[in-house]
Structure 1
Amino acid sequence: MSNIESGGAPLAANPLTQAVLEIDDYASGLGWDQPARLFALVDTDRLRVQEPGLADELGLAEQTAGALTPIEQDELPAGTPLDEFLATIAWPEVVSGCALTVERLMLPPSAEQAMPEGLDEDALGQWVAAHPERQEVRMTVAVLRDGTRESAVRLRAKDAATEVLTGAALVPGLAEALSATFEE
């Protein structure tokens, strides 16, 4: 992945926000209609000391203290619901946090009033996909072991680094599921 500074995305105020924007920039470079991607977040200084070869391979130069390096994990298993997959993860101590990027369809709150009742999950998905006000979004959510959270949301209709919305509470359900991967 390229660094935020070289990728043209805005500079971030803290290491977790910077990692989230770096992952969003990386995912953006892959295009849309991609599978979910999981990342371990490791302390960059610690990585350089413990794995200098990997740090060199990743092109990690001296960073700001506390910088985090996202390391993409193996592809998520096809056909397994995301919540079930996340429930199987346990991170080693060397991992400071984790992040997930996933694409979804979203509707504005006004569309909830028109939602038919009694739809099963498949029928609801079809209804949302056919709704004229649907928006395709890519969400990148990251959590640290201490509970710190950050998210980035990018609309396909406004696919530019300057249009990415960030905030700690944008995708609370996914942040909770990621936090649970650090619980013993």
Structure 2
Amino acid sequence: MPPAQQALAEAVVEIERHVATGGWDGPVRVFALVRTQAALDAQPALAGQLPAEVLAAAAADPHHLTSVEQEGLPAGDDLEGLLGGIAWPDGVDGAAVTVERIVLPPEAEDGLPEDPEAALAALLAHPQRQDVRIAVGVLRDGTTWSAVRQRALDADGAVGQGPDVVPGLADALVATFR
């Protein structure tokens, strides 16, 4: 794996674990990703706010990323609208988002009631329903990484990950840099 993608993978896994400490049923969360050493060079006082292990990692790896959670985002369930309204300044090297979703097998749509509210209730009660937390990170150059945790297997060691796990969400996040 190229060093920049490795740094992104580590940042995404760290973000997912951080969000997991808050439990389930949380809001969408968005993070800016900055190269740690570049941020330290631009703002030396930042060194006093970072743990020693982060400073050591930044000194050893110029690709090391630090995440900065974006607070005060508008509330709502419209992830496309939220991401469509984000534009990152030049000093941001990447971005990440965490979101919880329900995953169902394709056959779950067979025989659904016509009424939208009844259909939603049926889907939410489906026995094969899986709740997942998705963390997706991207770099400006389009490099991506994702981590997915299932509520039913809620353990750090059971988090699936890879570069192309959630391509649609990764594409939407990359678009925030255009």
Aligned to 1:69: 66
Give yes or no for the alignment of 1:19 onto 2:11. yes
Give yes or no for the alignment of 1:34 onto 2:26. yes
Give yes or no for the alignment of 1:175 onto 2:170. yes
Give the TM-score taking structure 2 as reference length.
0.87
Aligned to 1:147: 142
Structure 1's 124 and 85: CA in aligned 2 closer, same or farther, altered over 3 A?
A: farther
- How far apart, CA to CA, are the structure 1 residues paired with 2:148 and 2:118? 25
Aligned residue pairs: how many? 169
User: Whose relative contact order is higher, 1 or 2, with alpha carbons under 8 Å and at least 6 apart?
Assistant: 2
Give yes or no for the alignment of 1:78 onto 2:70. no
- How far apart, CA to CA, are the structure 2 residues paired with 1:143 and 1:45? 18
Task: Note the alpha carbon deviations across 1:156-184, whole angstroms, 9 max, x for none.
Answer: 1101111000011111111111011001x
Give the TM-score taking structure 1 as reference length.
0.84
8 A contact 2:37–2:64 mirrored in 1: yes
8 A contact 1:99–1:142 mirrored in 2: yes
Query: Identity rate of aligned residues, in percent?
Result: 47
Q: CA deviation at 1:78?
A: 1.4
State the AA in 2 paired with 1:78: A
- How far apart, CA to CA, are the structure 2 residues paired with 1:84 and 1:78? 11
State the AA in 1 paired with 2:55: A
- How far apart, CA to CA, are the structure 2 residues paired with 1:23 and 1:103? 14
| Aligned partner of residue 20 in structure 1, secondary structure | helix
State the AA in 1 paired with 2:84: A
Q: Which runs of 5+ in 1 are unaligned?
A: 1-12
Give the alignment's Cα RMSD to 1 decimal. 1.9
8 A contact 1:36–1:76 mirrored in 2: no
